[in-house]
Amino acid sequence: MMEMLFYLAALVALLATVLALTRANAAHALIYLIVSLLAVAVLFFLMGAPFAAALEIVIYAGAIMVLFVFVIMMLNVGEEGVAREREWLGGRNWIVPGILSALLLLELLLALRHAPAATSGTAVAPKAIGLTLFGPYVLAVEIASMLLLSGLVGAYHLGRRFIVRRERKR
Amino acid sequence: MSELDTIGFGLVIIAAAVGGAAILTWFERRLLGVWQDRYGPNRLGPFGVLQVAADMIKLLTKHDWVPPFADRAVFVFAPTAIVVAMLLGFAVVPFGPDLYILDINIGLLFFLGMTSLAVYSVLLGGLASNNKYALLGGLRSAAQMVSYEVFMGLSLMGVVMLTGSFNLRAIVEAQRDLWYCIPQCLGLFTFLIAGIAESHRLPFDLPEAEHELTAGFHTEYGGMKFAMFMLGEYLGLLLISCMITTLFFGGWLGPWLPPIVWFCLKVFVLICFFILLRAAIPRPRYDQLMALGWKVMLPLTLLNLLATGAIALLLEGA
């Protein structure tokens, strides 16, 4: 039963991702991408990682994708954007990325032959994840937080109002 | 509970939530009338309660129209997202010691995830309408919700720290001696504000502010599609009230009366409070709203988090 659900969610994730890649309309592509992320959250849940599943929904589907939609709304490209995208999606542009992805897929399939069954993992409680993150892996957490901080400082710098400052000097 | 019982109970909860949201549309207008010294809808049935049925008939018989310039598929999909997400959110609410649908160790995160998914309804509705007012309303709502979501989650972490679990039943059980509204009063305050902003009700209804955006993201919507947006909004109000009851006011706990009665009473009082807020507070300007979120509420939440963590560690050491 669990295995069936796992493969169903995996199928949904794959189909949604392919559709997200091939849509010309940016809004439609984003909706498929959100569906794909939700399907991945279901996969995490079935593999015994409910905490990762919840974070996938809260952060990826719930926050990052909202910002993507936000950008699309700000640009508001409309019909001409769809036409341009359709041109980019046509024909020869698929050849090189297609070959590269096919190679990766082949490698993945070969590697998976030796991996254990999909849903054999045991469930991990949120507390255990917290203890591991801030225990043996605390260095990784600190490095990630520094990276985010530098991103924040950079965004603040770019977002300053330079014109207002110049007026004050006069 | 057996699997069949759980499914039956789930259906009961869905019916109760949708019915409750419908009654709320009447109850809110009536209560606003009382506070503003006027009658409100009082003609149809006892106390005017059949007004709900009249509104339903009107909405159901309206022409279900999709504007020709709109993105049809997304336009139809958008109003359903908020209703589905909000109804799913009810799955983790513990209504009594044995009255629950889902008892998972990530209950609180599940609720946060569902409320964050509800945002798409407003966003996609605004985007698909292909209308300047709707687009502006959707944009505003995106910025508002992303900002308020940041400290909505953080404001609850104090409760999680004190309990040591994301499980909502464990959180209620941990409040036997003292409701969290006292040690977590800052958390309650910030979560309350974030909750109103998330369900974009007045005074934080800037995405649909009618004095400047006609009706915001649902300008182009009518009939049942519009009703779905309203249903989602009232479901959000109900869900937020249920969550505040569970997290800060001891859920089903209380003397003498049966647990479910206590739960409903607390939720009812909170809903009345939300409606009073609507009647009493004027709408802020949009930049004031954003400044409040980032410059006041976020630091307050972080302060609460820091203090709670320090005190929890001290108590553990003692």
Which CA distances in Å does B125 have to B77, B112, B141? Answer: 8, 21, 11
pLDDT tens-place string over residues A41-92: 998 888 888 888 888 888 888 888 888 888 888 887 767 777 777 777 777 7
Helices vs strands, H then E, count in chain A? 9, 0
Which CA distances in Å does B303 have to A154, B81, B154, B298, B310? Answer: 25, 35, 11, 9, 11
Beta-carbon contacts of B229 under 8 Å, excluding residues fewer than 6 positions away, are B79, B82, B121, B125, B218, B221
Beta-carbon contacts of B230 under 8 Å, excluding residues fewer than 6 positions away, are B25
Q: Where are the domains positioned within chain A?
A: 2-121
How many domains, in total, are found in chain B?
1
User: At B127, is the secondary structure helix, strand, or coil?
Assistant: helix
Contact B135 A73 (CB under 8 A): yes
Domain that holds residue B77: 67-309
pLDDT at A168 over 60: no
Kindly give the residue spans of alpha helices, DSSP state H, lying in chain B: 3-35, 51-61, 72-89, 107-128, 132-163, 168-173, 185-198, 210-213, 223-248, 259-280, 286-291, 298-317
Measure the CA dihedral B137/B143/B147/B152, to 10°: 40
Pair B198, B205: CB distance under 8 Å = no
B62 in any annotated domain:
no
Contact B106 A50 (CB under 8 A): yes
B183 in any annotated domain:
yes
Beta-carbon contacts of B184 under 8 Å, excluding residues fewer than 6 positions away, are B158, B159, B162, B248, B304, B308
DSSP state letter for A117: P
B139 in any annotated domain:
yes
B153 in any annotated domain:
yes
Confidence (pTM): 0.86
Structure tokens at B5: 């019982």
A1 CB neighbours in chain B (<8 A) are: none
Res B76: pLDDT: 84
Mean pLDDT estimate for chain A: 83
B124 close to A (CB below 8 A): yes
B280 in any annotated domain:
yes
B165 close to A (CB below 8 A): yes
Cis peptide, bond prior to residue B68, ω within 30 of zero? no
Give the count of beta carbons closer than 10 Å to the beta carbon of residue A31.
Answer: 24
At position A121, the amino acid (one-letter code) is G
B148 CB neighbours in chain A (<8 A) are: none
B261 in any annotated domain:
yes
Q: What is the pLDDT along chain B (318 residues), one digit of tens a residue?
A: 577 788 888 888 888 888 888 888 888 888 888 888 888 787 777 887 788 888 888 888 888 777 887 778 888 888 888 899 989 888 888 888 877 788 888 888 889 888 888 888 888 888 888 777 888 888 888 788 888 888 888 888 888 888 888 888 888 888 888 888 878 888 888 898 888 887 777 677 766 666 667 667 777 777 788 888 888 888 988 999 999 998 888 888 878 888 888 888 889 999 988 888 888 888 788 888 888 888 888 899 999 999 988 988 888 876
Q: What is the DSSP string of B73-90?
A: HHHHHHHHHHHHHHHHHG
B31 in any annotated domain:
no
A29 close to B (CB below 8 A): no
Q: Which CATH class is domain A2-121?
A: mainly alpha
Structure tokens at B79: 């109003």
pLDDT tens-place string over residues A115-164: 666 555 677 788 888 888 888 999 999 999 999 999 999 988 888 776 66
